[in-house]
Amino acid sequence: MSHRPIYLDNHATTPVDERVLAAMLPYFTEHFGNPSSINHVYGWETEAAVKKSREILAQAINTTPEEIVFTSGATEANNLAIKGVAEAYFQKGQHIITVATEHNAVLDPCKYLQTLGFEITILPVQKDGLIDLNLLEKAFRSDTILVSIMAANNEIGVLQPLAKIGEMCRERGVIFHSDAAQAIGKIPLDVQAMQIDLMSFTAHKVYGPKGIGALYVRRRNPRVQLAPQQHGGGHERGMRSGTLYTPQIVGFAKAVEIALQAQATENQYLTQLRQRLWELLSQLEGMYLNGHPTQRLAGNLNISIEGVDGAALLLGLQPVMAVSSGSACSSATTAPSHVLTALGHTEKLAYASLRFGIGRFNTAEEIEQVAQHTISTIQSLRKQKTLV
């Protein structure tokens, strides 16, 4: 069997935890019923499994099971939240606020709404990736209906001040949506304390299966209305029609359950690995840490490197490790990361960047090996003068 590279791209996706897979397997074969088939035991079994899973996910963010709407992933959840609010509240206002470093699954729906006449304010970020709350305050208008700001950035790992944003939105009667795809199971999330009205999340960033996500939709104080974006059957309180994918839902809940149980110890472990990696890499000159040094995901290290070509760097690293230079969802594009350019980087420096996504199954020995090979690759490229 050939040696496989060390996997350090856990922000793109994570391997399915064996405990998650074990929980899912019976629902592919033995318990295969449609949870909407309420007239026989096959449907009752899967309906019960979905109900239990919904309860687990609700508890994870301090809400009720009825407020969890299952989707195919965070991208669909973001689209449902943003377009659903726009369509439901367009008579109240047509102004939406978001941030330059959001995932494209938020920015692209906003751009689409612009073609329909909505006005979008895209706030810049500070050099550390955090938003300026003063700028947010000034951006509110009488016709603002929605603010969409992510919990944890998928590239630089920065954690935005959700509770303060939620307070500002609630004071003005504006709906607050947060993309928490990278945050669920990794940081404490409480939609009541943070005054969040809509929250998107997904399973495959937290050692669960791909193809399943959810949207939290507040039912009271205030009750949030959403126009469905997918029709046919009236599933999920009429917000998202389609037969529920029971094995994926069970796996999603199990993954989040495991993550919450291990959150404190896992974050401590990942922080140690991240700090060790940065300690070794920062010994080289011309190394820049992207994002706030501490207000970030425990397993995230994003750096920019002077004096190297980004493509040559990734090519040199590939035999030993699997890392990325930005979001997996935009890796096919030739443009530099919009997140890094939003931090003020030149295109040259943005291209020459690495995102290390350290995960549950990485070891201290792997981090040492990764650091050694990264340093030697950078030194070799600089020596060869392969500059952009």
Q: Is residue 73 part of a domain?
A: yes
- Decide: helix, strand or coil at residue 81: helix
Q: Are residues 185 and 320 in the same domain?
A: no
Q: Are residues 86 and 206 in the same domain?
A: yes
Q: Which residues pair with 175 in a beta bridge?
A: 146
Q: Is residue 91 part of a domain?
A: yes
CA-to-CA separations, 160 to 105, 183, 348, in angstroms, rounded: 18, 11, 27
Q: Is residue 77 part of a domain?
A: yes
Q: Quote the domain boundaries for residue 373.
A: 6-14+262-384
Q: Is residue 1 part of a domain?
A: no
Q: Are 176 and 161 in contact (CB under 8 A)?
A: no
Q: Are residues 150 and 23 in the same domain?
A: yes
Q: Domain ends where: 256, 273, 301?
A: 256
CB atoms within 10 A of CB 315: 12
Q: For residue 209, is the peptide bond before it cis, meaning its omega torsion is within 30 degrees of 0?
A: no
- Please tell me the number of Cα atoms within 13 Å of 319 on its side-chain side: 4
Token readout for 359 is: 């995960």
pLDDT digits (tens, 9 = 90+) for 294-314: 999 999 999 999 999 999 999
Q: Are residues 245 and 337 in the same domain?
A: no
Which CATH number is 56's domain given?
Answer: 3.40.640.10
Q: Are residues 230 and 91 in the same domain?
A: yes
* Element holding 303 (H helix, E strand): strand 300-305
Q: Are 374 and 281 in contact (CB under 8 A)?
A: yes
Q: Is residue 36 part of a domain?
A: yes
Q: Number of folded domains in the chain?
A: 2
Q: Are residues 157 and 269 in the same domain?
A: no
Which CATH number is 280's domain given?
Answer: 3.90.1150.10
pLDDT given for residue 196 in this prediction: 98
pLDDT digits (tens, 9 = 90+) for 323-380: 998 645 545 556 789 999 999 999 989 999 999 999 999 999 999 999 999 999 999 9
Enzyme catalytic residues: 329
Show pLDDT as tens, one digit a residue, over the chain (388 residues).
358 999 999 999 999 999 999 999 999 999 999 898 889 999 989 999 999 999 999 999 999 999 999 999 999 999 999 999 999 999 999 999 999 999 999 999 999 999 999 999 999 999 999 999 999 999 999 999 999 999 999 999 999 999 999 999 999 999 999 999 999 999 999 999 999 999 999 999 999 999 999 999 999 999 999 999 988 888 888 789 898 999 999 999 999 999 999 999 999 999 999 999 999 999 999 999 999 999 999 999 999 999 999 999 999 999 999 999 864 554 555 678 999 999 999 998 999 999 999 999 999 999 999 999 999 999 999 998 644 4
pLDDT given for residue 235 in this prediction: 86
Q: Are residues 278 and 192 in the same domain?
A: no
Single pTM value for the model = 0.95
Q: Domain ends where: 240, 256, 272?
A: 256
Based on its alpha-carbon atoms, the radius of gyration of the chain, rounded to whole angstroms, reads: 21
pLDDT digits (tens, 9 = 90+) for 237-246: 878 989 899 9
